[in-house]
Amino acid sequence: SHELTQPPSVSVSPGQTARITCSGDALSKRFVSWYQQTPGQAPVVVIFEDNKRPPGMSQRFSGSASGTLATLIISTTQVEDEADYYCFSIDVNNEQGAFGGGTRLTVL
């Protein structure tokens, strides 16, 4: 089965850089996208195709990917960035999609 692994939580101080990782065997062959979710809301895409930002997304959000590891990078982290973050990818072998388990970002 297609599985993506994320750390359950990441904590940073305001102004620091937050890095959230996502690992999985299928990542070496398919793009990763990242989603931000706040309580009670639908997810919002922050990064797609490993490192592209949607129109209007803050430049503080960036992404990288190498081999079986993808990373979401949030620079100059702000309190408003506190949320759950999920990676997503599709396994090209069986077209199975999967989200990572999610990472709770705390800014304090």
Partner 1 sequence: QVQLVQSGAEVKKPGASLRLSCATFGYTFSHYFIHWVRQAPGKGLEWMGIINSNDGTKAFAQKFQGRITLTRDSSTSTVYMDLSGLGSDDTALYFCTREPDYKILTGEFLYPFDYWGQGTPVTVSS
Q: Considering only 12-20, 37-45, 59-67, 75-83, which stretch makes contact with partner 1 by CB under 8 A?
A: 37-45
Q: Within 13 Å, how many C-alpha atoms sit on residue 106's CB side?
A: 6
Q: Considering only 12-20, 35-43, 65-73, 74-82, which stretch makes contact with partner 1 by CB under 8 A?
A: 35-43
Q: Within 13 Å, how many C-alpha atoms sit on residue 4's CB side?
A: 30
Q: Per rule CB under 8 A, is residue 60 in the interface with partner 1?
A: no
Shortest distance (Å) from residue 26 CB to partner 1: 13
Pick one of 5, 29, 38, 52: the residue that binds partner 1 (CB under 8 A).
Answer: 52
DSSP string computed for 8-19: SEEEE-TTSPEE
Distance of CA 54 to the CA centre of its chain: 14
Please report, as ranges, the residues that interact with partner 1 according to CB under 8 A. 1, 33, 35, 37, 42-43, 45, 48-49, 52, 54-55, 84, 86, 88, 94-102
